[in-house]
Amino acid sequence: MSNKQINFIGWILFILSAIGFIIASIGSIWSMVGSVFFLVACLVFLIPFFRPDD
C-alpha cells in the first residue's frame, strides 16, 4: 500500500467516526455542532485526494 492510500483510508475512518459522533450527539446541540465541524474538517482534508496532481 502506498502512503497516499493509507492516508485516504485514515481519513475515511475519521469520517466514519465523525458520523458516529453525530449520531451519538442527537439531543445535545453543542455536541452536534462540534461533531458537524469535525466532519466538515475531515472532508476539507480530503480535497487534495480528488484534485489532479500538478
pLDDT in tens, 3-51: 989 999 999 999 999 999 999 999 999 999 999 999 999 999 999 988 8
Cell triple for 44: 476539507
Cell triple for 27: 439531543
Tell me which DSSP letter residue 51 carries.
S
> Is the entire prediction scored with pTM above 0.85?
no
Rg (CA), the chain: 13
**Alpha helices, H only, 1-54:** 3-24, 29-50
Which residues, including other chains, have CB under 8 Å from residue 39's CB and lie 6 or more apart? 15, 18, 19, 22
